[in-house]
A and B are shown apart, each in its own frame.
Chain A
Amino acid sequence: RKEVEQDPGPFNVPEGATVAFNCTYSNSASQSFFWYRQDCRKEPKLLMSVYSSGNEDGRFTAQLNRASQYISLLIRDSKLSDSATYLCVVKSSGGYNKLIFGAGTRLAVHP
């Protein structure tokens, strides 16, 4: 089983739609959680951290359920510029607290 699993998509949605991405992680001792955005053939960039109480940044809302080991990202009022791959990232615990990346979910927003 992969340490971080995501639906690969693609999710094809019209502008203005609301879209939700899900992610599960296997290590219950994981400490920190993030969503990164990666444009085609570019480097990943941090979109937002995910906190236990849930957090919002404009049109983006992230949720964490530690009991279910589940993370979500909700994008409201989708824009064409939101088209990208969204990576779920978990910081593992242990001797070295490395970041573990999911394979990503691709989003395509069309007019």
Chain B
Amino acid sequence: DGGITQSPKYLFRKEGQNVTLSCEQNLNHDAMYWYRQDPGQGLRLIYYSQIVNDFQKGDIAEGYSVSREKKESFPLTVTSAQKNPTAFYLCASSIYRDADGYTFGSGTRLTVV
């Protein structure tokens, strides 16, 4: 079955550490996205990629980095520069840029300990 796989489901990070969240899709979608969700807030866009080897900053990119070396994969690194990284991270994809339908992964819950 086609879909998006995010791993790990839960992640604990010590202060000052970088961590990388995995996102893999087998839907043959061109566009991929990373969102962050905090309690009581809507999803906020961190980074997006319209095609391999291209990505753009979203609304809250500071303290995060991404790469898009393969169509299927769009990993997100949460760096030590991100001051408040505890959140629920969601990866999504769409068949092309501007497509209405987004498919979401099941999310990674990151906690700083």
* A residues adjacent to B (C-beta < 8 A): 2, 4, 8, 32, 34, 41-46, 49, 87, 91, 96-104
Contact = CB atoms under 8 A, between A and B. Distances in A.
A8 to B, nearest CB: 7
Contacts of A103: 40-42
Given A96-B48, A96-B56, A98-B48, A46 B42 contact: no
B43 A101 contact: yes
A87 B44 CA distance: 13
B56 A99 contact: no
Interface of B: 35, 40-45, 48, 56, 58, 88, 90, 97-98, 100-102, 104-107, 109
Give the dominant DSSP class at B's interface: loop
A34 B100 contact: yes
Contact of B98 (A42, A43, A97): A97
Given A43-B90, A96-B48, A96-B97, A101 B42 contact: yes
Contacts of A32: 100
- In this complex, the member of A49, A87, A91, A98 whose beta carbon has the largest number of chain B beta carbons within 10 angstroms is A98
Nearest to A42: B106
Nearest to B107: A43
Contact of B43 (A44, A91, A97): A44
Contacts of B100: 32, 34, 49, 91
The 9 tightest CB contacts between A and B, nearest first, are A101-B42, A43-B104, A101-B43, A103-B42, A97-B98, A102-B42, A43-B106, A103-B41, A43-B107
Contacts of B102: 46, 99
A97 B43 CA distance: 15
A32 B97 CA distance: 14
18 contacts: A4-B42, A32-B100, A42-B106, A43-B90, A43-B104, A43-B105, A43-B106, A46-B101, A91-B100, A96-B48, A96-B97, A96-B98, A97-B98, A98-B45, A98-B58, A101-B43, A101-B44, A102-B42
B105 A100 contact: no
Contacts of A102: 42
Contacts of A100: 42
